[in-house]
Amino acid sequence: MRWLRRNVWGVLVGTVLLSFVILLYRSHQSANRPEASLISEAAHLIASPFQKTNLWFSKHFKELGAYFVQLEELKKENQSLKKQIRQLNNDLNALSERVARSNSQSLQSNWANSYPEPVVFGDILGMSADPLTRVWWLNLGAQDGIKVKQPAAIAEGLVGRVQSVSAKQSTIQIILDQRSRFPVLVQRTRSRGIVAGTGSGIELRQVLIRDELKIGDRIITSGLSQLFPKGLFVGEIKEIVKSESQLFQTAVLEPGVDFNRLESVGILPLELGLFDPDQPQE
């Protein structure tokens, strides 16, 4: 098809020229000479297929040209439609992102409004490479009123606390950090224990062996030691490790916060009356 498109004019012109030469030769022959009549008939016989071909090309060339023009238009239209589809996909992704962020922000806003003092939200800028020392960088600093030891949390639960502060950034030690320890309560039974970070998760420790634990029990901060305000959700028990020869039992917790998907956190104010900024803390 491409060869025909490139050479159709050459074929057509060659056919016309050949037909013209044959007809010219015939016109110079005498009609009274038998041999001339035979040559004329032979020439007509030879030229007939070319003449028919010429007529066919003349008839269908316009249709063929229109086909190629239409094909080019279809290609351009196809490219335009693909471009529109890409743009629509980009718009859809942007809209979906706005909806998701709006839903998340609405949830966090309702939670933050439950506190008498304002909760400041910041975005996570980076995370430490050490899987055991779990420290995150936040785009909030001293110029935003952030102070060391402020709790970091979201509506789903406790995240950690501010470890250090610079002018424009701060670092947060999340509760998965192996150095993290804080007192908690089993919400159902009010039994006390300690939640410790393991680097990849959290565990409930130092719960008396006689205290009842159940899968699904909710663990909340106790408010002791002035590390975190009382009542923040920490996680649920998903596995219990108990030995009758030991004084305490241990449980593996499912954190309330999905740390793999966290994008921003709220910093709770020290001015809630739960902390004394000048008092040494654990």
* 201-240: pLDDT as tens digits: 999 999 999 999 999 999 999 988 778 888 999 999 999 9
Domain match, 105 and 130 both: no
Residues 87 and 209 in one domain: no
How far apart CA 171 and CA 139 sit, in angstroms, is: 9
At a CB cut-off of 8 Å and minimum separation 6, what does 267 contact?
119, 120, 121, 122, 138, 140, 146, 150, 151, 152, 162
Per residue in 32-79, pLDDT tens? 455 555 555 555 555 566 566 666 656 666 666 677 778 788 888 888
User: Is pLDDT above 60 for 282?
Assistant: no
Question: Do both 39 and 125 map to the same domain?
Answer: no
Looking at the fold, whether 148 and 12 belong to one and the same domain comes out as no
State pLDDT tens for residues 114-156: 888 889 999 999 988 787 788 999 999 999 999 999 999 999 9
Which residues form the domain of 42? 1-114
| Token code pair at residue 196 | 């410790």
User: Do 52 and 132 share a structural domain?
Assistant: no
Question: Among 121, 184, 110, 183, which Cα is nearest to 152's?
Answer: 121
Look at the chain and count its residues: 282
b/e burial code for range 11-21 (CB count within 10 A of at least 16 → b): eeeebeebbee
Residue pointed to by tokens 């490219």: 79
Q: How many CB atoms lie within 10 A of CB 201?
A: 16
Cβ pair 222, 192 in contact under 8 A: yes
The answer on 225 and 89 residing in a single domain is no
Instruction: Give the span between the Cα atoms of 257 and 270, in whole angstroms.
Output: 22
Report yes or no on 78 lying in a domain.
yes
Residue carrying the six token digits 């939640």: 195
Same domain, 58 and 151: no
Write down the mean pLDDT value for the chain: 79
The whole-model pTM stands at 0.63
Instruction: Kindly state whether residues 230 and 171 are assigned to the same domain.
Output: yes
Out of 2-11, 62-71, 230-239, 263-272, the most confident range is 230-239
Question: Domain boundary at 51, 82, 114, which?
Answer: 114
Shared domain for 161 and 104, answered yes or no, is no
